Every structure is written in C-alpha cells, then in structure tokens.
Amino acid sequence: MKKILITGANGLLGQKLVYLLAQQSTVHTIATSRGEARFAIPENTTYQTLDTTDREAVLTCINTHKPHAVIHTAAMTQVDDCETQQAECWLQNVEAVRYLAQACEANQTFLVHLSTDFIFDGKEGPYTEIATPNPLSYYGESKWEAEKILQNLATPYAIVRTVLVYGIIPAGSRSNIVLWVKKSLEDKKPIKVVDDQWRTPTLAEDLAMGCWLIAEQEAQGIFNISGKDFLTPYDMAIATADYFGLDKSFITRTDASGFTQPAARPPRTGFIIDKAKNVLGYAPHSFAEGIAILDKQSNQS
C-alpha cells in the first residue's frame, strides 16, 4: 500500500485529489489541512490537522507517517492579497515549502509541489517547461522562490506548474469564471471581461489527475499540467454563455487597463503540455467539456 500525504486537503485541488486517490486500491491517503475536514472523509483516508507554516508540526507529521509521496497543494493563492500581505505570503508560499522539503529530505520522500504560470512575465506564452521565469507580482515571486528551494533538494521531486484552475466542491466558497458568468447572465447583469490576457484554463479534476500520474510514476522534474485550450477570459465567457444558452449581449469586451489591481498580471501565459502528454499519459478535457462537468456537478450538489 502506497501512502500519499496531501497538504491543503480542504481546498479545491486538495478535495479533488482526496477523492481521486480514494479510487486507487493501492493508496492510503493522509489528508492534511488547517482546521477540521470540510469534506466527507472516504475509505483508505486518514485526516490530520496540519499548519504547513509550523516547522515542527510539519517535521513531526512527515516523520510519523513516512509517506511515499507528498503532494503539496497548500498555498496563499489570492494574487492581490499576496501583494498587500507579503510577509504572510512568504511564510505560506516559501517557508512552508522549505519545511516540507527538509522533512521529505530526511525521510527520502518524493515531493510533488504545485506552482503557477505567474512565475512568468507573460510576454512569450504559451510556455514550455524550460522557459525562463520572470515574475511580475509578489505571488509569482514567492512561487518561483519555492521552486528554487526544490531544485536544491537531495530527494526526488516534481514541480507541477498550472494555470487558472476552475472547478467546484460541495460547500465551496470560491467562485470561478464559469459560475460567475453563468450567474451574471442569468441575473441579466452586464459584465466586462478582458480580452487581452491569454491562459490555458485548467479543470481541477485534470490537475488532480496530473498530480496523481506524477506521484504514481514518481516522475521527476518540471511538468506543465493545464488545459489544452488557449483562451482569453472573454473567450471563456462567450463559451459559457453558449453552453447555457444565455444572452451574450450582457458581455462587454474590455482590456486589463480598465481594472485597477494591486498585483500585475502577466498578459500572455498558458502552457504547452506535450511533455505531460508524452511522459505521463496526461489527457485533459477541453474547456467546453469542463463547463459540462461543472454543470453536472452543480446540479448534483
């Protein structure tokens, strides 16, 4: 039985991973997060409260469970909050990774770390795994610093870079672009959506599958795990309206200059995912398929 420990298990990706791993008969999952579990704990899963910014707690947890792999999803991901709360961002996104890396090194545990397209400046996207990072925001800087910690590890590791993750979980508080557009148009509320930023939006289930394929195969190095469609938020809004048969006249095309935000956004990121497809057998859904999956899940919840 392979033991896999997940950090941030209460989050969107964390919950998707917990349920995906529960379907694998050869895996026992140790799900960890701050506070109590916010999901029904499946079979072959142990839940433990863990604050990854507490070095001693992290070391004790890894030393006690001795997992074969750790999938580190916990992070401060609100980009503007990271810009305005830099000390907290550094603690969660850099120091916590350092603590996990030390614990994994001591136990020769395979570490899978989640990173982001925001380590790039967005001038030359979509990017391959060998592109040179140049973050524009403090969030991007913190995630790039975390990657550099891993690259000096004396234990096997993988870095999973992803883009604009969307999905839904029961009792989830965070919205996403699909749900936001759907609700706005149903309420006949005009919305402005940018058409000068490009991404490869990633369905949370696809990202979870990519993480599992890496952990299962102990595939080392950097992997781009994202969706396969290169779209602007405006494209995503139109696709959402088309799927649900809603009135597109409420959607206005705009550019990023119309929004004032504390953190700069890279204009053109997105990922080329050939390596993940060829090495791992990764096969993501299209954005249209992703909308249909969200629709089905929202009707079940």
Q: Strands, DSSP E only, in 24-176?
A: 27-33, 45-49, 69-72, 110-116, 157-162, 165-166
Residue with tokens 């990922």, as numbered in its chain: 271
Cis peptide before 135 (omega within 30 of 0): no
**Count of other CB atoms within 10 angstroms of residue 35:** 9
**pLDDT for position 173:** 65
For domain 2-166+203-229+269-285, the CATH superfamily is NAD(P)-binding Rossmann-like Domain (3.40.50.720)
The tally of CA atoms less than 13 A away on the side-chain side of residue 285 is 19
Question: Which of 72, 144, 142, 55 is closest to 106 using CA atoms?
Answer: 55
Calpha distance 177→201 (Å, rounded)? 10
Calpha distance 276→268 (Å, rounded)? 21
Calpha distance 158→141 (Å, rounded)? 19
List the domain boundaries for the chain.
2-166+203-229+269-285
**Count of other CB atoms within 10 angstroms of residue 192:** 15
Give the relative orientation of helices 55-65 and 96-107 as an angle to the nearest 10 degrees.
30
**Count of other CB atoms within 10 angstroms of residue 195:** 17
Q: How many residues does the chain have?
A: 301
Contact 11, 75 (CB under 8 A): no
Sign of CA dihedral 187, 192, 197, 198: positive
Cβ neighbours for 54, distance < 8 A, ≥ 6 positions apart: 99
The tally of CA atoms less than 13 A away on the side-chain side of residue 123 is 7
Calpha distance 205→211 (Å, rounded)? 10
Q: Which residues of the chain have pLDDT under 50?
A: none
Please tell me whether the overall predicted TM-score, pTM, comes out greater than 0.95 for this model. yes
**pLDDT for position 298:** 87
Q: Residue 146: which H helix or E strand, with range? A: helix 138-150
Calpha distance 204→16 (Å, rounded)? 7
What DSSP character marks residue 157?
A: E
